[in-house]
């Protein structure tokens, strides 16, 4: 019997764990779910004889080594910064490992040890990164195999709230780590456009958006995401004229979010004073000039050249930033305080459904003629537990785990899912589970 150790039992693990338990008997697996919160792990394991739960702390070195070396395969769903601790043990002991997180330089340095000890670390095997890699490489490889010249590739993904009749003007709630949403865009934003390198500073990022239309699903707006240039190597795209990765939101979101950036409310580099007695209104006012005669709303509108009756001001009022409600923290950076305020309105409720939207655009030359293919996938969650995010993050990992354990992935070292032998069967099974891409050629 082969043992699968899952580290972490949070919201994004539900579909991963469900799949592995359902397939455990047929594949002779034992699934061990490990989390610092034992009750959370037990909750996830309580419906299958093939599953068990343990209390686990990655910083307990003795326990970590004991539990990880018992496993035939480890799936780390811990915070990204913790993966290195897992990877070091797996590399030293030849244990196969999977995760949905980006490959870091620190982890990449372990590649010789994984290869030497005959194990694979398959990373970026979730949604974004993950399904985006696989679905993009499928079309990119087809274009190249047909002898066409690829001149442009753009890809966008968004974790959104499914269309609803409620009055949420942002059309958004947290479907992933709220901290990552608040800090989005604070890295290096680089891409190539028409053969020119482009860079966007953080304070301009949410003003540089583009409109994307997906038939049957309407309009979205996209902003640039991190460093697109590193995918020149990952996707073998050297020489391409346009390469752009981005994030999707509903129209109007970015312009309103930019207000928090211009205020400094997303800064995570220092702690605010007086947080324990601060209200939402005080928080916003702390970034504005002193004027005892003007309201906070008026000062903000004047500072950022907004109309008091604008759509952006309505969004801010709805989210509660002008309320006299206590923040509810004793300390925090501006970003932490903002996150805490937003969670009061943006936390997914039982009857909420999330939605994943992914869109690719491929431009290529066919005997001197410019052609374009667009591809999209839209997935809607069932409820607040079986979310689209949980499924699109967890199912690729689960399918990948099955392939590794059954010898269908025979790789050593550190990889992302850009090889045909990996992405084809995973995409095929995802398609059978309802996660299909729709491709169409568009006139250019």
pLDDT tens string 51-93: 999 999 999 999 999 999 999 999 999 999 999 999 999 999 9
pLDDT beyond 90 at 414:
yes
Structure tokens of 247? 């994030």
Residue 173 lies in a domain: no
The percent of residues above 90 in pLDDT, for the chain, comes to 87
Token look-up 């958004």 returns: 172
Residue 200 lies in a domain: no
Mean pLDDT check: name the lowest of 3-12, 44-53, 225-234.
44-53
pLDDT beyond 80 at 48:
no
Quote the distance between the C-alpha of residue 344 and its chain's center: 21
Residue 330 lies in a domain: no
8 A C-beta contact, residue 399 and residue 429: yes
The residues near 324 (Cβ < 8 Å, ≥ 6 apart) are 279, 280, 281
pLDDT for res 230: 87
- Please, which pLDDT band fits residue 384 given cuts at 50, 70 and 90? confident
Provide the domain count of the chain: 1
Strands 354-366 and 149-161: antiparallel
8 A C-beta contact, residue 266 and residue 182: yes
Residue 195 lies in a domain: no
Q: What is the pLDDT of residues 146-179, one digit of tens each?
A: 999 999 999 999 999 998 767 899 999 998 789 9
- Please, which pLDDT band fits residue 100 given cuts at 50, 70 and 90? very high
Q: What is the pLDDT of residues 121-152, one digit of tens each?
A: 999 999 989 999 999 999 999 999 999 999 99
pLDDT for res 47: 65
Reported as type and span, the H/E element at residue 415 is: strand 413-415
Please state, in angstroms and rounded to a whole number, the distance separating the CA atoms of residues 344 and 21: 34
Residue 138 lies in a domain: no
Residue 185 lies in a domain: no
Please state, in angstroms and rounded to a whole number, the distance separating the CA atoms of residues 32 and 66: 13
DSSP, collapsed to helix, strand or coil, labels residue 250 as coil
Q: What is the pLDDT of residues 169-207, one digit of tens each?
A: 999 999 878 999 999 999 889 999 999 999 999 999 999
pLDDT for res 443: 87
Phi, psi dihedrals of residue 156, rounded to the nearest 5°? -135, 145
Query: Cα dihedral angle (383, 386, 388, 392), rounded to 10 degrees?
Result: 180
Residue 29 lies in a domain: yes
Nearest alpha carbon to residue 428 among 404, 401, 381, 395:
395
Arithmetic mean of pLDDT, 398-405: 97
- Provide the mean pLDDT of the chain: 94
Helices and strands in the chain: count of H runs, count of E runs: 18, 16
Residue 85 lies in a domain: yes
Please state, in angstroms and rounded to a whole number, the distance separating the CA atoms of residues 441 and 15: 33
Arithmetic mean of pLDDT, 353-359: 95
Range of the domain at 55: 2-123
8 A C-beta contact, residue 33 and residue 45: yes
Question: Which pTM was predicted?
Answer: 0.91
Token look-up 């073998």 returns: 236
Burial of 141 (0-12, 13-18, 19+ CB in 10 A): middle
Q: What is the pLDDT of residues 278-314, one digit of tens each?
A: 999 999 999 999 998 899 999 999 999 999 999 999 9
8 A C-beta contact, residue 297 and residue 322: yes
CATH (domain of 22): 3.40.50.720
- Please, which pLDDT band fits residue 234 given cuts at 50, 70 and 90? confident
pLDDT for res 121: 97
Arithmetic mean of pLDDT, 337-357: 93
Q: What is the pLDDT of residues 235-247, one digit of tens each?
A: 999 999 999 999 9
Q: What is the pLDDT of residues 208-230, one digit of tens each?
A: 999 999 999 999 999 999 889 98
Nearest alpha carbon to residue 113 among 136, 150, 88:
88
Reported as type and span, the H/E element at residue 142 is: helix 131-145
Beta strands in 162-312 (DSSP E): 190-193, 196-199, 209-214, 218-224, 242-249
């Amino acid at each position: 019997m082969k043992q699968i150790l899952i580290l972490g039992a949070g919201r994004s693990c539900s579909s991963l764990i469900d799949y592995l338990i359902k397939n455990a008997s047929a594949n002779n697996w034992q699934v061990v779910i490990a989390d610092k919160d034992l009750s959370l792990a037990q909750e996830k394991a309580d419906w299958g004889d093939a599953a068990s739960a343990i209390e686990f702390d990655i910083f307990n070195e003795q326990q970590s080594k004991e539990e990880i070396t018992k496993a035939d395969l480890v799936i780390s769903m811990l915070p990204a910064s913790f993966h290195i601790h897992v990877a070091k043990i797996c590399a030293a002991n030849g244990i196969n490992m999977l995760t949905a997180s980006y490959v870091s330089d620190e982890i990449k340095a372990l590649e010789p040890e994984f290869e030497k000890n005959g194990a694979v670390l398959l990373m970026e095997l979730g949604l974004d990164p993950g399904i985006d890699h696989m679905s993009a490489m499928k079309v990119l490889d087809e274009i190249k195999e047909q002898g066409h010249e690829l001149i442009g590739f753009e890809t966008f993904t968004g974790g959104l709230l499914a269309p609803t009749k409620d009055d949420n003007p942002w059309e958004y709630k947290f479907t992933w780590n709220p901290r990552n949403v608040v800090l989005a865009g604070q890295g290096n934003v680089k891409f190539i456009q028409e053969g020119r390198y482009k860079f966007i500073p953080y304070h301009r990022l949410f003003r540089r958006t583009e409109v994307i239309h997906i038939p049957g699903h309407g309009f979205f707006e996209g902003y640039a995401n991190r460093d697109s240039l590193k995918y020149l190597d990952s996707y073998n795209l050297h020489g391409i004229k346009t390469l752009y990765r981005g994030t999707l939101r509903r129209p109007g979101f970015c312009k309103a979010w930019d207000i928090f950036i211009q205020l400094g409310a997303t800064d995570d580099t220092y702690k605010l004073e007086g947080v324990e007695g601060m209200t939402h209104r005080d928080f916003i006012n702390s970034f504005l000039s002193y004027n005892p005669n003007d309201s906070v709303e008026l000062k903000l509108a004047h500072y950022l050249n907004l109309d008091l009756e604008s759509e952006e001001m309505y969004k801010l009022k709805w989210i509660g930033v002008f309320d006299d409600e206590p923040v509810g923290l004793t300390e925090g950076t501006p970003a932490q305080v903002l996150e805490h305020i937003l969670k009061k309105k943006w936390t997914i409720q039982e009857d909420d459904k999330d939605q994943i939207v992914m869109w690719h655009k491929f431009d290529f030359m066919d005997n001197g003629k410019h052609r374009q293919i667009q591809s999209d996938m839209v997935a809607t969650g069932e409820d607040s537990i079986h979310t689209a995010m949980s499924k699109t993050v967890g199912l690729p990992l689960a399918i990948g785990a099955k392939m590794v354990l059954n010898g269908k992935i025979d790789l050593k070292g550190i990889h992302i899912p850009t090889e045909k032998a990996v992405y084809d069967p995973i995409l095929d099974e995802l398609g059978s589970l309802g996660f299909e891409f729709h491709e169409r050629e568009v006139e250019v």
